Amino acid sequence: MRPQSVILTFLGDHVYGRGICVSSGSFIEAFAKVGISEEATRSTLTRMVRRDLLRRQRSGRRMYFGLTPTSTEVLKDGERRIWHSGVVNDADEDRWTLIGFSLPESWQRQRHELRSRLVWAGFGPLQNGLWIAPGDVDAARVIEDLGANVKVFAAEPRHPTDMQALVGDAYDLSGLGERYREFLRRWDRADPAPDAPDDLARSLTLLTDWLQVIRADPRLPLRYLPHDWPAEKAQRVCHALHERFRPEAGRIAERLLDVVPDETWAER
């Protein structure tokens, strides 16, 4: 697991919404439980500060780390995806967002950045320069600051469009389904994560694994997915295990957390 992913999981489960900053020592102790070294933790915290995902706050001789507006938005999105929106899109409406763009051949960096953002936002490629995503996507947030010539439409399929074939062409369904099946192979068992030292480590590993899966899932309409789609079963397993690990994980986290009030909390 990437250290930054684990740190974000930890922040989402134990820091988000509390108005606190956490000492570097607490991060080091928590992440040692999942095999992340002190050096890796310190270097990741530094990188996250540079990326505006964390802010430093000194108290006495100790350095503490708190959330920024950027990381708060990331954690808010993670919370929504895990606990609220769910992995199954069974909406009655068959609405899609279309984005068409044209970039000069010399804009290789912008082209790569735009495609990365489109994938993150749930878009799949229909053809060169034309991408599609289920539902109503706030495309303005995807394309802002890129300076690209982009056109956005809301769309509904019409005959003779074969949407099942279109979805199969635009998205890697076999790869996404395999991600869910791999999650189930690892966690749908009587004794998941048997090598973990405690329930805090199990909880961190579980939710980090789960976020890696669902952040790659565009939540395609269920009507266009294979009948044995494993997402819903995987979600039930994740939620049940989190409830099982949560009480002891919370107690362990409270024992190791060295915190101070976030000086910027009242400003948000």
Rounded Cα distance, 90 and 231, in Å: 13
- Give the model's confidence band at 172: pLDDT under 50 very low, under 70 low, under 90 confident, else very high: very high
Confidence check: pLDDT of 210 > 90: yes
Predicted confidence (pLDDT) per residue in 20-36, tens digit: 999 999 999 999 999 99
**How many other C-beta atoms lie within 10 A of the C-beta of residue 60?**
7
Query: What pLDDT, on the 0 to 100 scale, is given for residue 116?
Result: 83
- Give the model's confidence band at 206: pLDDT under 50 very low, under 70 low, under 90 confident, else very high: very high
Q: Among candidates 88, 117, 76, 116, which has minimal Cα distance to 214? A: 88
Which class for 199: exposed (0-12), middle (13-18), buried (19 or more C-beta within 10 A)? buried
Query: What pLDDT, on the 0 to 100 scale, is given for residue 138?
Result: 85
Angle at 9 between CA 72 and CA 50, to 5 degrees: 55
Query: What pLDDT, on the 0 to 100 scale, is given for residue 243?
Result: 97
Query: What pLDDT, on the 0 to 100 scale, is given for residue 145?
Result: 66
CB-based contact 91:221 (threshold 8 Å): yes
Confidence check: pLDDT of 215 > 70: yes
Confidence check: pLDDT of 134 > 70: yes
Q: What is the average pLDDT across 61-68?
A: 94
Give Cα separations from 59 to 65, 143, 190 (angstroms).
11, 39, 44
Q: Among candidates 213, 186, 206, 198, which has minimal Cα distance to 249? A: 198
Query: What pLDDT, on the 0 to 100 scale, is given for residue 268?
Result: 58
Rounded Cα distance, 184 and 194, in Å: 15
Q: Among candidates 68, 29, 97, which has minimal Cα distance to 265? A: 68
Radius of gyration, alpha carbons of the chain: 21
- Give the model's confidence band at 66: pLDDT under 50 very low, under 70 low, under 90 confident, else very high: very high
Q: Give the torsion sign (CA, 123, 125, 130, 135).
A: negative
- CB within 8 Å of 250: residues ≥ 6 apart: 14
Query: What pLDDT, on the 0 to 100 scale, is given for residue 180?
Result: 97
Predicted confidence (pLDDT) per residue in 240-256, tens digit: 999 999 999 999 999 99
Query: What pLDDT, on the 0 to 100 scale, is given for residue 267?
Result: 65
**Which amino acid is it at 51?**
R
CB-based contact 26:257 (threshold 8 Å): yes
CB-based contact 16:67 (threshold 8 Å): yes
Q: Among candidates 222, 232, 220, 72, which has minimal Cα distance to 137? A: 220
Query: What pLDDT, on the 0 to 100 scale, is given for residue 15?
Result: 96
- Give the model's confidence band at 266: pLDDT under 50 very low, under 70 low, under 90 confident, else very high: low
Query: What pLDDT, on the 0 to 100 scale, is given for residue 86?
Result: 86
Confidence check: pLDDT of 148 > 70: no
For residue 20, the cross-strand partners are 261
Query: What pLDDT, on the 0 to 100 scale, is given for residue 147?
Result: 61
Confidence check: pLDDT of 203 > 70: yes
Confidence check: pLDDT of 146 > 70: no
